Structure 1
Amino acid sequence: MSKIAHELTRKEMKGPDRFQLAAADAASWMAKRQKQLVLAAVALLGLAAIAVGASYVMDSGREEAGGLLYKALDAASGEVSSVPLPNFDRPLYKTLDEKERAVIDAASKVRERHAGTRAATTATLLEADAHLALGEWDKAIAAYQSYLASSPADDSLRFGGLDGMARAQEGKGDLAAAAATFENASAISFFKDRATLERARVLARAGKKDDAKKALEAIAKESPLAGEAQERLARLGAK
């Protein structure tokens, strides 16, 4: 049985006879399989159409996710006021509860419809912040943990997730966990001193005055927060 063109080795293709034989065999192979080739071409076109469609759906999905996330961000940027505010183009809410519930509702839609996307990750952080504002400590902690688990290590908002979780833990009364989370947050260079200040505050609340002093003393004199650190040290010394 003769070999078809794609089965011949380079050595076998050297001589003219081999070339002619290969060409003839290839033509014969194609003639016998014309129907299959047509079907294959149709299948390839179908796959191409699916790829184009998938790309369109992905682009549309990203656009929809972005639109839903914008609504959540817009809700979070609103203000609480019982009277209309002049020249204010953001949402107005009568109560804090109304505002934060609106944020949670908008954020949950992003997460439910676009799970696994960057928009959903950011929405989770917004939802966590809303639960924190409402004093719903357990829900806030769970949402912050979800955000931190799904966000990249270099996410520019990661410090907010750690800061929020520490405050929720503090609100719940778990001062040891809050201090530990603030310590983790201090690994983020630009947030290091602020996280250290907050950790010292929590340590002082927990009665660990010496540990609080050590944390404050570790803040460099060149830091923009050095003055605040010194003030807190003075207050601790006066107690």
Structure 2
Amino acid sequence: MTDYLFDTPKVQSIPVKGEAAEYPVHRIFCVGRNYAAHAAEMGVEVDREAPFYFTKSPQAVLASGSTLPYPPGTENFHYEMELVLVIGKPVFRASVEDASGAIYAYGCGLDMTRRDLQLAARAKQRPWDLGKDVEGSAVLTGLTKADEMGAIGPQRIHLEVNGEVKQDALLSDLIHGVAEIVADLSKFYHLAPGDVIMTGTPAGVGPVVAGDVITGGVDGLEPISLTIGAPE
């Protein structure tokens, strides 16, 4: 048994509907600009040839229903409602068909973003880490297995702030579908159980402040909620 100089981070995990055991989180991949209307509101072009990605650390995971203190270093903290998928078996250099079979379950997620820091980094062609890999910024619901969810496409995806609808779209609006994303990402990584993929957000992103309550959902999945707390 190896001794460590300090305690190792807690394993982050997600409940799964119908299972006593939880799904442990290994890595978090996020797809950028995967809805045309969102790309337009961000003032950028859509890359329809292939998805592009950024990452969050597993320690960014926060359970739905939590309170997240308003983070340091930002004056423009944004919500982004997303469909989340998780991998259930190893997949590498997969076809779209094989990639579809590697999807274990789906859930709802919030990609909380320090937008001012992201845009400042983008303007200087620097990485987005300070804007995106924020503590508590990967808010996740429990998971629903893929066979129970059914085909992705007709489901509504939506988000409200203090009860007011801010984002409202269909999963059929995704530029790159879920199996396409897994197949493309598997060209670059040996994907495996524990890998979480956040598939992108529709138009309507915007800021929140301390005291705001975010709610949202995707048809057929557990709804999501988050309260923004006072800064620490």
TM-score range, shorter chain: under 0.3
Structure with the higher helix share, 1 or 2: 1
Bigger CA radius of gyration: 1
TM-score by length of 2: 0.19
Structure with the higher strand share, 1 or 2: 2
